[in-house]
Amino acid sequence: MTAEVTHSLDKEFNPWLAAEARFHTAADTLGLDDGLRKVLRSPAREITVNIPVGMDDGRLEVFTGYRVQHSIARGPAKGGIRYAPDVTLDEVRALASWMTWKCAVVNIPFGGGKGGVICNPVYLSQGELERITRRYTAEIIEFIGPEVDVPAPDMNTNEQTMAWIMDTYSMHKRQTVTAVVTGKPVNLGGSRGRTEATGRGCLLVAQEALKLFGMKPAEARVVIQGFGNVGGMAARLMARTGFKIVSIIEYDGAVYNPAGLDIEALLLHRKATGSILDFAGGENIDREEAMFLECDILLPAAKENVLHSGNAHRVRAKILCEGANGPTTAQADEILAARNVFVIPDILANAGGVTVSYFEWVQDRQGFFWNEDLVNTRLEEIMVNSFQDVTGLAGRHKVHNRTAAYMLALDRVAFAIKLRGIYA
């Protein structure tokens, strides 16, 4: 691969540049002026902290952490915290902006935020992870809070991580503050239905898309990339609804059954063996081959940039439902559009998680908790209405769904900024 091609791919895979490209496409269609564009695209605050941590072997190590608050125009910043060795400020900045647009698309009163710590949790003990989390929280404590910025779990963080953050924050405030984070254990103020929320949101918008195609779930063949919280839950819920899940793709390979996989049995097999491979109810196939099987719905639910200019032409799905954040590059959008792939963009498709996080924040602040049926009913109402808002706007302006979703989000945030005015 030449240096020129490598540089081109680096630019294509840069999440901040991808977010910028989509922003400008939507802003052009809306006719936003340059001044408002500058306000909308500029993060409100970017925080970088160095985190000294005593390791189990007695060494002192320093980790780098970030928290970006992209927008607080419509409410507190909202977004996850990820732990990974390849976390970058550009990535966190892009994910924070996506959270702004995602919250606006589903019309919940949050802005966008995101955080990350550069570390590899695979090589860290539980004690080391706790010390990193608590010191990271202490370093950013003046910038978070129920009215300011509400973190949540993300890649390699979980409800235990959120419990540590809540406890650290509460100790500093000298009172229990459950609403400082979402994604907590239910016994510490978490919401019922939160674990399933992102996967359930994918199910709900996929069902709405099928209606536009005149199809029923039992007629739909689905390929899902990723079998973690989002992909695994989407697979389980879709299978229960009657969808035919023909392939599941993981980091070490894929399994395929044209008649449909038994998802519950596959989950048990993965739990017993640590892998989806060699499952009795399907055949092992190459993970690249599986991504481009002929199907009705392709649901990438793993990492960013899995569909790009080098492979988007191979997609053979009618519907692309983006369970992950940023699974499709901006260059791939044009290729998919030319192939008439119906895209349910990430800022709509995976917004079920932040929607139920909003419900958790509301419940914590009220001190009154809902049953799971109420959570799911209210989630369905928001996801279905948001799908109709996006596809309706796409139809009226003759643009693709992703552009329509960004237009809807930008318009809502811009409207809030115009009403509030610029403080000087």
Radius of gyration (C-alpha) of the chain in whole angstroms: 21
Q: Which tokens is 182 given?
A: 């979402």
Q: Rounded to 5 degrees, what are φ and ψ at 211? A: -60, -35
399 vs 111: CA distance, rounded Å? 25
CA angle (168 as vertex; 163, 172 as ends), nearest 5: 145
Write out the catalytic residue numbers.
114
* CA dihedral for 17, 19, 21, 24, sign (positive or negative): negative
- Contacts of residue 76, defined as CB under 8 A and 6 or more positions apart, other chains included, come to 110, 111, 145, 146, 147, 148, 149, 150
HSE at residue 423, side-chain half, CA atoms within 13 A, is 2
Q: For residues 406 and 383, is the Cβ–Cβ distance under 8 A?
A: no
CA angle (266 as vertex; 261, 270 as ends), nearest 5: 150
Length, in residues, of the chain: 424
- Contacts of residue 32, defined as CB under 8 A and 6 or more positions apart, other chains included, come to 40, 410, 414
HSE at residue 287, side-chain half, CA atoms within 13 A, is 14
Q: Which tokens is 157 given?
A: 């963080």
- Contacts of residue 272, defined as CB under 8 A and 6 or more positions apart, other chains included, come to none
Short-list 184, 231, 203, CA closest to 357: 184
118 vs 291: CA distance, rounded Å? 29
